[in-house]
A = this chain, B = another copy of it.
Amino acid sequence: MSDTPSSMSNDDALARIRIVLVRTSHPGNIGAAARAMYTMGLTCLTLVAPKRAPDDEAVALAAGAAHILERARAVASLDEALAGAALTIGLSARRREFVGRALGVREAAHDAIANAQHGDVAIVFGTEMFGLTNDELARCAIAATIPANPAYSSLNLAAAVQVVAYELRAATFGTVGWEAPRFPQATYDEIEGLYAHAQRTLTALAFLNPAMPKRLLPRLRRLFARAALEREEVNILRGILARVDELIVDRKRQNKP
């Protein structure tokens, strides 16, 4: 397979994204970040000088993404973590004075996926308490921010990784999830048959007066037009009407001497 953009699969692009966690304090956060990554199809995790190495709690919080933890690369410096990256993006909630480009994570994710067609992309998260230092962020080509509540912008580390990973997947595969199941649609004449039946039954019920119909039938037409009736639904509704028709006939019989 060649490396030209046209021949790259979307999964290849996600495989070229490195998530870099710098001086993380709590192994549990590393595990939760691994889970967040893998739910969105990211697999490449780099740990820069973690205060404590991934432990049992990390594995527990990684849940079905424990293999991401096992494969994680641990390095001593941010330099090592960024080596070879064609694009570097650092996360920062706080505004900083010396950054070249600052983007929201949605736009940054689009840049990341575009660049992942040609080379590796590193996305860097700082410590739980203080984020990235100014020096660390200055090594990144783009400062990315998760727009948040100005009164409390402190996302949990793994939660921040989840939002970024989600945006990377959305930039790659779009934002559509599974689709509601579709069953065969009712045809025009089936639907008109339903309205004709409803009109007869509602008239027999004396709920509709054909001489003064008001807006009843247009309202029903509007309701069912929005719902886009399926054949099975028309059959159910006509079945209900037929049962009411029987009841009306029964009552008429009983009322006769």
Which residues 86-138 in A have Cβ within 8 Å of B in the complex? 94-95, 97-107
Chain A count of residues within 8 A CB distance of the other chain = 54
Do A38 and B145 touch across chains, with their CB atoms under 8 A apart? no
Do B149 and A41 touch across chains, with their CB atoms under 8 A apart? yes
Task: Give the residue of B41, B103, B159, B170 whose beta carbon is less than 8 angstroms from that of A158.
Answer: B159
A218 interface residue per 8 A CB criterion:
no
Do B162 and A147 touch across chains, with their CB atoms under 8 A apart? no
- Quickly give the copy total for this chain: 2
A residues near B (Cβ < 8 Å) are 32, 35-36, 38-41, 61, 63-65, 94-95, 97-107, 143-149, 151-156, 158-159, 162-163, 166, 169-170, 173-181, 227
- Report if A177-B38 is in contact (Cβ < 8 Å); known contacts: A152-B64, A162-B162, A169-B148: no
What would be 5 A-B contacts, judged by CB atoms less than 8 Å apart?
A39-B154, A41-B149, A106-B175, A145-B178, A158-B159
Complex-state Cα separation, A145 to B170, whole angstroms? 12
Q: Which residues of B contact A64 (CB under 8 A)?
A: 152, 154
Do B103 and A156 touch across chains, with their CB atoms under 8 A apart? no
